[in-house]
Amino acid sequence: MIAHPRDDALTFNQHLNTGIQQIVTDFPKLIDAIQPTVICAEIVPSGRLGSNSELVVAAITSCKVIAFQFGIEWIDYGANTIKKQVTGDGKATKTLVRNTILDLFPAVKSRHALLKKEQKVAGEKAEGLPQDVFDGIAIALCGVKLMVPEEADNGSMDSPREAQDSEGCV
């Protein structure tokens, strides 16, 4: 995941270029280390991508091409599906998603608290981990729940086909 620095376009462009280069460089090592069979991602409607939409689409496309080159299936889930699988509410706020991830994963909660403390000591705004981290974990958790429904704790969906959100996106 390439976290968005939320700065001006030039900073974003440089950050994105560095992030994509790192993915291209590290991807074979990552494939060897974790041997993924599926990559799950969130569908972001084009109208919501903001001023850097071309760059975001380019980054997603680059990652998809790399995945396809390695024969890894790519599955897109809609935001409502992700929120419902993680929190039980398809209209959950980002705060609820973050808090649910913190409750589910004590190691993430500890790292988040430690980072907030370090930021405060450094005189920075104590935000902890970026929201993108929680969103990435939520996407992965959604994928696990939908691809292995018998292991999902809520058992609300029996198959990926039933995982379509209101836009028909899986």
Tens-place pLDDT, residues 91-133? 999 999 999 999 999 999 999 999 999 999 999 999 999 888 8
pTM check: above 0.85? no
Other CB atoms within 10 A of residue 13 CB: 12
Residue range 17-58, pLDDT digits in tens: 787 777 778 778 877 887 888 888 887 665 555 545 666 677
CA angle 65, 66, 70 (to 5 degrees): 115
Longest dimension (CA), the chain: 48
Other CB atoms within 10 A of residue 139 CB: 23
Number of helices (H), then strands (E), in the chain: 6, 2
Amino acid identity of residue 147, one-letter, is M
